[in-house]
């Protein structure tokens, strides 16, 4: 039995009028916006899309007629920078730290580098900043890299100790934020893929119809580019 879409007649007619001014085309977000203040039954939206299609209206990902104002909204999501989630050192971490420092001074005893005391300080700062975003070993390597980079600058060996420590913390904080951002993006993407697959499964089980990417953007309340990215990841892309 076809779902009753008469409750949404006024909104559907408004969409038809809008499509008439856009060469009988609509963007997915325009359809979503028409129903954003009301709860549309999950079985009704496919019926509404079919009704629009029967009226000769197509869903397009881009519309560029002269009489249509360009949509200035951005489809790209901005991810907030990751924040450091402090973790206490485990016994294994402490053992690794002390063995690493001992190894540094064993290297120095051979007269290899005047940088060793600076590296030890940087390594211990890295241990103080231990977090869930990066393994301790990676933090230590980043701290050593920061020391090597700073050592190329003039007057490095006469630099104020507090300034040196501050610069090391700043360098590590930047690396941690970047790692946190990547992890956040990965988690969000995994969540999107999970929700997408579940929603598509529910749609298929309800009617067995095949929908275009533009139609899925309406049904799943997602941006077209998001859906394309997910389809590429799952191996179903164009």
Structure tokens at 57: 């209206």
Query: Are 65 and 130 contained in the same domain?
Result: no
pLDDT value of residue 124 = 94
Residue 93 CA to residue 115 CA, distance in Å, equals 23
**Confidence grade of residue 107 (pLDDT, cut at 50, 70, 90):** low
SS3 state of residue 26: strand
pLDDT value of residue 64 = 43
**Confidence grade of residue 71 (pLDDT, cut at 50, 70, 90):** very low
pLDDT value of residue 110 = 55
Residue 219: closest CA among 42, 3, 70? 42
Question: How many domains is the chain partitioned into structurally?
Answer: 2
Domain-located, residue 81: no
Domain of 39 in residue numbering reads as 6-73+208-233
Query: Are 22 and 57 contained in the same domain?
Result: yes
Helices 136-151 and 116-128: crossing angle in degrees, nearest 10, is 140
Query: Are 69 and 147 contained in the same domain?
Result: no
Query: Are 46 and 113 contained in the same domain?
Result: no
Query: Are 49 and 113 contained in the same domain?
Result: no
Domain-located, residue 48: yes
Domain-located, residue 86: no
The phi, psi pair for 2, rounded to 5°, reads -70, 130
Hey, which bits of 57-98 come out as E strands? 58-59
Query: Are 115 and 69 contained in the same domain?
Result: no
Residue 95 CA to residue 110 CA, distance in Å, equals 23
| CB < 8 Å & 24+ apart, contacts of 3-9 | 3/41, 3/43, 3/44, 3/47, 4/44, 5/44, 5/47, 5/48, 5/51, 8/35, 8/38, 8/40, 8/44, 8/48
Query: Does residue 31 or residue 75 have the better pLDDT?
Result: 31
Domain-located, residue 157: yes
In the chain, what is the straight-line distance between the N-terminal and C-terminal CA atoms, in Å?
33
CB-based contact 39:229 (threshold 8 Å): no
What are 111-163's pLDDT values in tens digits? Answer: 557 888 889 999 999 999 998 888 899 899 999 888 888 888 777 877 788 88
Domain-located, residue 107: yes
What's the pTM? 0.44
pLDDT(16) > 70: yes
Domain-located, residue 168: yes
* Mean pLDDT on 55-63: 71
Query: Are 98 and 139 contained in the same domain?
Result: yes
Query: Are 97 and 69 contained in the same domain?
Result: no
Domain-located, residue 1: no
SS3 state of residue 4: coil
* Mean pLDDT on 43-59: 80
Query: Are 22 and 106 contained in the same domain?
Result: no
Beta bridge partner(s), residue 131: 86
What are 184-229's pLDDT values in tens digits? Answer: 666 666 676 776 776 666 666 655 566 677 777 777 667 777 777 7
SS3 state of residue 219: helix
Query: Are 61 and 133 contained in the same domain?
Result: no
Query: Are 97 and 54 contained in the same domain?
Result: no
Query: Are 35 and 66 contained in the same domain?
Result: yes
Domain-located, residue 201: no
Query: Does residue 119 or residue 3 have the better pLDDT?
Result: 119
pLDDT value of residue 77 = 32
């Amino acid at each position: 039995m076809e779902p009753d879409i008469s409750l949404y007649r006024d909104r559907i007619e408004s969409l038809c009028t809008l499509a008439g001014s856009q060469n009988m085309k609509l963007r997915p977000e325009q359809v979503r916006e028409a129903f954003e203040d009301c709860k549309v039954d999950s079985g009704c939206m496919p019926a509404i899309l079919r009704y629009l299609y029967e009226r000769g209206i197509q869903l397009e990902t881009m519309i560029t007629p002269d009489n249509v104002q360009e949509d200035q909204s951005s489809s790209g999501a901005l991810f907030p920078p990751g924040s450091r989630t402090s973790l206490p050192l485990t016994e294994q971490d402490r053992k690794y730290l002390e063995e690493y420092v001992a190894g540094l001074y064993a290297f120095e005893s051979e007269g290899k580098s005047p940088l060793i005391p600076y590296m030890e300080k940087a390594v211990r700062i890295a241990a103080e900043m231990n977090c869930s975003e990066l393994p301790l070993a990676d933090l230590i390597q980043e701290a050593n890299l920061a020391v090597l980079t700073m050592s190329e600058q003039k007057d490095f060996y006469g630099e104020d100790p507090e300034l040196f420590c501050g610069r090391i913390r700043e360098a590590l904080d930047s690396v941690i934020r970047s790692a946190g951002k990547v992890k956040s993006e990965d988690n969000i993407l995994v969540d999107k893929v999970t929700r997408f697959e579940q929603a598509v499964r529910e749609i298929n089980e309800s009617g067995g119809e095949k929908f275009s990417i533009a139609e899925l953007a309406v049904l799943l309340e997602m941006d077209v580019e998001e859906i394309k990215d997910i389809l590429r990841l799952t191996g179903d892309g164009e």
